[in-house]
Structures are given as C-alpha cells and as structure tokens.
Amino acid sequence: MTTSTDSGALLRLLAWLSPGFPTGAFACSHGLEFAVEAGDVIDEASLKAWLEDVLAHGTGRTEAILLRAAHRAAHDPERLEALADLARATAPARERRSETTDLGTAFAAAAAPWSPPPLPQAPPYPVVLGALAGAHGIDEDATIAAALQAFAANLISAAVRLVPLGQSAGLRVLAALEPTIRHVTDATRIAAPDDIGGCAFRSDLAAMRHETQYTRLFRT
C-alpha cells in the first residue's frame, strides 16, 4: 500500500490525536490514579519510570502491534473483526477492556467525516485508528509514533492533576519519553499479533485495583 507523510496526512493525524478529539480519553488514567494513591507515582521521576514501562512493556507495545496489524488490514473486514476480538481478549482488566472499546467506539463516531472503513462492533481503539490511517494511506510508522505520543501525553495530563505535578514537570517527562516512543515504534515494525505479550504487571494490577478504589476522579 502506498503511504503518505504529506501535509494532508499530517493534518489528519493532528486532528484524530488531538486532546480535543471527542473520544473521552481525558477521563481515563489507565490505572494511574491507583498508582498515585499507592505511592508508586509520587513525582516527576517516578512518573517517567512508570510511563516508560507502560509504553515499552505494557499497553503501548501491545497497542502498537494491534495498530500496525489493523493498518495493514484496513480493507479486510474479517481480519479487522479478528483483531478486535484479540484486542478485547488481551485486555488484562475489566476497565482496560471498557477503556479501549469506549474510546474506539467514540473515535469511530467522531471520525465519520473522514469516511472510516467498515469496522467491527465495539471496536477497540488501536484497531479503529489503525484501520482509518491505513484506509487513508497514512504512513504506518508516523501513525504509531503519533499514537504513542498522544497516549503518553494523556497520562501525563492525568498525573499533573493527580500527583499533583506542575505543567513544566509534565512537559519534561513528555520530552524525556521521546527515545522510548521511538524505540517502541522501531521495535514493533516487524512484530505480528502473535508477538503480543506484556510484563507491566504493576500497571495491570493498578487497573484492577482502580475498579474498587474508594475515591476516583477518573473512569479508569
């Protein structure tokens, strides 16, 4: 498939991955809210370490692989359905499954002006984004890097409110995560769905514990 990194492709990625795109991601902490309560994330350094693990060994890597597979299957509805099933099955907690399907459903609805390809019911977020980017011929690596950056930025925004941290500290963390984002982008280039697997266990446990956390600001 011919891919593009021209200004049109860039504009679409900026729109789709903008914090203002109505997916509801701002209400998700991905278990970070419990990590703050438990004392795992207490400052700039611990937030950076937590997000590096989530990106390289947890959801970041898993969703990058799913997104790549969906990008390549953008015009294959049966393959997208199978990827959606896999994405839901690999969610390690109820809130994680809800998060990815809620974001994916909202993203699909909001992306209607860009004519997304036929999508599964309750589509997980990386499957929707990958399929839409693939259908528009947007460069696969650019889509992965942009998606990981947006994921990290959303969690940093949550941490700024939860820890709390200053905006400057949050931006320093985002800048410091660039090598990790590039590494995950490069490392998943030849990965297939069979390579999905993670070891960010404390992040997964935080998502499970968040379900019963007494005081919550975030849905996940």
Q: What is the pLDDT of residue 6?
A: 79
Indicate if the alpha-carbon torsion angle 158, 161, 165, 167 is positive or negative.
positive
Q: What is the pLDDT of residue 86?
A: 97
Question: Tens of pLDDT along 13-71?
Answer: 999 999 999 999 999 999 999 999 999 999 999 999 999 999 999 999 999 999 999 99
Question: Tens of pLDDT along 162-205?
Answer: 999 999 999 999 999 999 999 999 999 999 999 998 899 999 99
CATH of domain 7-18+29-209: 1.10.4190.10
Domain boundaries, given as residue ranges, for the chain: 7-18+29-209
Tokens of 15: 């729109």
Question: What CA–CA distance (Å, rounded) separates 211 from 44?
Answer: 25
CA 155 to chain centre: 10
Q: What is the pTM of this model?
A: 0.95
The DSSP result for 52-109, as a single string, is: HHHHHHSHHHHHHHHHHHHHHTTT-HHHHHHHHHHHHHT-SSHHHHHHHHHHHHHHHH
Which among 213, 109, 118 has a CA at the least distance from the CA of 162?
213
Which among 209, 186, 205, 204 has a CA at the least distance from the CA of 59?
204
Question: What CA–CA distance (Å, rounded) separates 138 from 130?
Answer: 9
Question: What CA–CA distance (Å, rounded) separates 131 from 160?
Answer: 32
Question: Tens of pLDDT along 131-171?
Answer: 999 999 999 999 999 999 999 999 999 999 999 999 999 99
Confidence of residue 126 (pLDDT cuts 50, 70, 90): very high
Question: What CA–CA distance (Å, rounded) separates 173 from 12?
Answer: 26
Question: What CA–CA distance (Å, rounded) separates 32 from 41?
Answer: 8
